[in-house]
Amino acid sequence: MKIGMLTDYVTVEFTNGPALASQAFRRIMGQRGHDVSLVGPAPVWGNREAKGDTILFKSLPFRQYAGTPLAMPFPSTNFKEKPDFDVIHAHSNSLLMHWAPMMRKMHGIPCIHTNTIYLPAFAHHFAGDAVIEGRFTKPFFNWLTNYVETAFCKVFDESDGLIVQCQGLVDYWRKIGLEVPLHIIPRPIDPRVFERPLGEDPYRRDFKAGSRLFVVCRHAGEKSLDQLLRVFAEHILPNNEDASLTLVGDGPAHQSLRKLSKQLGIANRVEFPGEKPQRDLPEWYAYGDLFFYTSTSETFGQVISEALWMGMPVVGLEDGMGVSYQVEDGVSGFLVEDNSEQDEALGAAVNKLLDNPALRSRFSRAARERQRLLVDPEAVYQAYERAYEEAIEHIKRRPPERKDPKKLRDRAHLIRQHVFPWLWKHATLAASGIVSSGYSPKSAVPFDAAPEPQAQAMVQPVRMAANGTPFRVIENEELIEAALLDGGRPSGNHLRIS
């Protein structure tokens, strides 16, 4: 099958789930015998080169969002020439999504969308409480939110299906009025990254195993990392002086978060290692003890999936979306109700797991087992293939009213319904982001590079000792000798010797 993957991230400029997923998708679907081309905005700064088969649009940088390129509806050849695709998968939540139904109307190519933004949660952080709840601004903001979601729904309904990554979004879009078929397909784990031998413990030596809290994500307002730091300072560290918190990542809020940790007096127990390639993350998950997350803007939450896959229990907020979909409360972690008392409840949940290694081990086993069922790569990619086949059947049952851009009336329809809203909305976003957020992606970080060959011991799956302690057997005499010299101490969810 020839697949056109429409994406806002043709290259990986910074740690971003959709960008990494697009690269993994092209590679793995190619291994399954499909031809995948990426369709999206040309890289703005030239830091990354678009590789493989691509269809590129002219782009403008959205400087308030790390310089993310916004695709503009040029050149015209990207519309006039029929792309050689059997199906278009529009994995874009920008106005670039309009290209997919245009190809459906102009060339009869079936298309299916993926939605990865839950606007009510995201907007809370993007606009702020003063705007959302203001006496005069609230009615306007409610109108704007409804306008945006209604416009999205209309584009989705002009396609052959919508893919979402959790049940909460199914309920949400059906309530808005979406009519096309819906598919729940969670984002898969990349086995190339997360099924390889483990390397060395990356944590600070003074961060004691058994008390390591970890989070990796983009450092931006919608992730609520300021709340996480306050909960750690006020409700966790006073009850566990060995507790540590490591926040991997970067973003527009990075410097303010570092400053806040100093203001809260916890800088000595908090580390900011910066942005890391995805290929380096397994060690952070494996040698840590607990993934602690306060974001409620996740439509899936790739980092939640990775943590659970690696056997790391999760404490987070009950969001009715991506976190709630993946974490089973009381089985693979704890979910805390999102209310005025959530900070104290989050702290209590974290302390309960830190104080109870046996419970943490039980959660770890359950997390690994359940996540391997939920996001098994083979099952996920089969689900994609079934969704494409259903899209092809759907367009046969509900063929579009074909539009010929050579005809004046048809051209006017395409411009009015797709090109014009795409053009003015992206131009407005680009103009609103003239002032930089202060964050520039680091081009030297090889986010989408293949893992380097590991001259390390092959690490076997986690086993359980008689006392309930999880460990891995390392089949390498030199590493066993090093572990003996180090006292054979536990390291996260592993023992260096059995």
* Same-domain check for residues 360 and 421: no
- Alpha carbons 45 and 56: distance in angstroms, whole number: 14
Report the percentage of the chain scoring pLDDT > 90.
67
- Assess if residue 59 is contained within a domain: yes
**Maximum separation of any 2 CA atoms in the chain, in Å:** 80
Q: Please report, for the domain that includes residue 61, its CATH number.
A: 3.40.50.2000
Q: What 3-state class would DSSP assign to 6?
A: strand
Could you tell me if 86 and 64 lie in one domain? yes
Say if residue 393 is in the same domain as residue 288.
Answer: no
The whole-number pLDDT of residue 61 equals 87
CA atoms within 13 A on the CB side of 51: 11
Instruction: State the pLDDT at residue 485.
Output: 35
pLDDT band at 491 (very low <50, low <70, confident <90, very high): very low
Asked if 401 contacts 417 with a C-beta cutoff of 8 angstroms, the reply is no
Please name the residue ranges forming H helices in 3-157: 17-31, 77-80, 99-107, 119-127, 129-132, 137-157
Residue 457 has what pLDDT?
35
DSSP sequence for 372-405: HHHS-HHHHHHHHHHHHHHHHHHHHHS------T
Class of residue 38 by CB neighbours under 10 A (exposed 0-12, middle 13-18, buried 19+): buried
Sequence-separated (6 or more) residues with CB below 8 Å from residue 269:
232, 237, 243, 244, 245
Q: What is the pLDDT of residue 63?
A: 78
- Predicted local confidence at residue 316, as pLDDT: 97
Is 92 in the same domain as 16? yes
Give the number of other CB atoms < 10 A from CB of residue 383: 16
Q: Kindly state whether residue 458 falls inside one of the protein's structural domains.
A: no
Three-state SS at 221: helix
Instruction: Report yes or no on 244 lying in a domain.
Output: yes
Look at residues 432, 453, 478 and tell me which one is the last residue of a structural domain.
432
pLDDT reported for residue 468: 41
In this structure, the answer to whether residues 113 and 220 fall within a common structural domain is no
DSSP state of 71: E
Name the strand (E) or helix (H) holding 429.
Answer: helix 420-432
Using alpha carbons, list the distances in angstroms from residue 342 to 125, 235, 389, 405: 18, 11, 44, 55
Write out the two tokens for 74. Answer: 């040029």
Q: What is the pLDDT of residue 44?
A: 81
Judge if 242 and 181 occupy the same domain: no
Pairwise CA distance, residues 328 & 347, whole Å: 18
- Identify the band that residue 436 occupies on the pLDDT scale cut at 50, 70 and 90: low
pLDDT at 176: 93
Roughly what angle, to the nearest 10 degrees, separates helices 17-31 and 377-397? 90
Say if 112 falls within a structural domain. yes
Does 388 reside within a domain?
yes
pLDDT at residue 494, as a whole number? 37
Per mean pLDDT, which range of 65-74, 198-207, 239-248 is the poorest? 65-74
Q: What is the pTM of this model?
A: 0.85
- Helix count (H) and strand count (E) of the chain? 19, 19
User: 3-state class of 50 per DSSP?
Assistant: coil
Chain mean pLDDT for the chain: 86
In whole angstroms, what is the distance from residue 156 CA to residue 160 CA?
A: 8
Range of the domain at 239: 193-374
If asked whether residues 297 and 320 sit together in one domain, one would say: yes
pLDDT of residue 132: 63
Amino acid at 412: A
Instruction: Quote the pLDDT of residue 72.
Output: 97
User: Are residues 137 and 58 located together in one domain of the fold?
Assistant: yes
Tokens of 39: 């369709």
Q: Does residue 438 belong to any structural domain of this protein?
A: no
Q: Pick the last residue of a domain from 325, 353, 374.
A: 374
Q: Is the pLDDT higher at 379 or at 137?
A: 379
Asked whether residue 391 is domain-assigned, the answer is: yes
pLDDT score of 21? 86
CA distances from 367 to 331, 354, 363 (A): 8, 16, 6
One domain, residues 234 and 333? yes
Is the four-CA dihedral 317, 320, 322, 327 of positive or negative sign?
A: positive
Phi, psi at 3, each rounded to 5°: -115, 130
The verdict on residue 451 lying in a domain is no
Kindly report the number of other CB atoms within 10 A of residue 21's CB atom.
21
- Which of 374, 391, 414 marks a domain boundary? 374
CA distance 469 to 445: 36
What pLDDT does residue 146 have? 86
Q: Does the CA dihedral 395-164-421-69 come out positive or negative? A: negative
pLDDT at 461 over 90: no
Average pLDDT over residues 16-29: 86
Predicted confidence (pLDDT) per residue in 385-418, tens digit: 999 999 999 999 999 999 999 999 999 999 999 9
Looking at residues 168-173, what average pLDDT do you find? 95
Number of domains, the chain: 3
What per-residue confidence (pLDDT) applies to 477? 36
**Separation of alpha carbons 222 and 39, rounded Å:** 27
What is the distance between the alpha carbons of residues 99 and 80, in angstroms, rounded to a whole number?
A: 12
Given a cut of 60, whether residue 174 has pLDDT beyond it is yes
CB 72 within 8 A of CB 418: no
Residues 224 and 91 grouped into a single domain: no
pLDDT, tens only, 209-252: 999 999 999 898 889 999 999 999 999 999 999 999 999 999 88
Give yes or no: residues 215 and 165 share one domain.
no
Mean pLDDT of the 415-432 span: 93
**H/E segment holding residue 214:** strand 212-216
Q: Helix, strand, coil: what percent of the chain each, to 5?
A: 45, 15, 40
| 205 and 343 fall within a common domain | yes
**Mean pLDDT, residues 372-382:** 95
298-341 per-position pLDDT tens digit: 999 999 999 999 999 999 999 999 999 999 999 999 999 989 89
Beta bridge mates, 59? 71
* Cβ-contact 441, 67 below 8 angstroms: yes
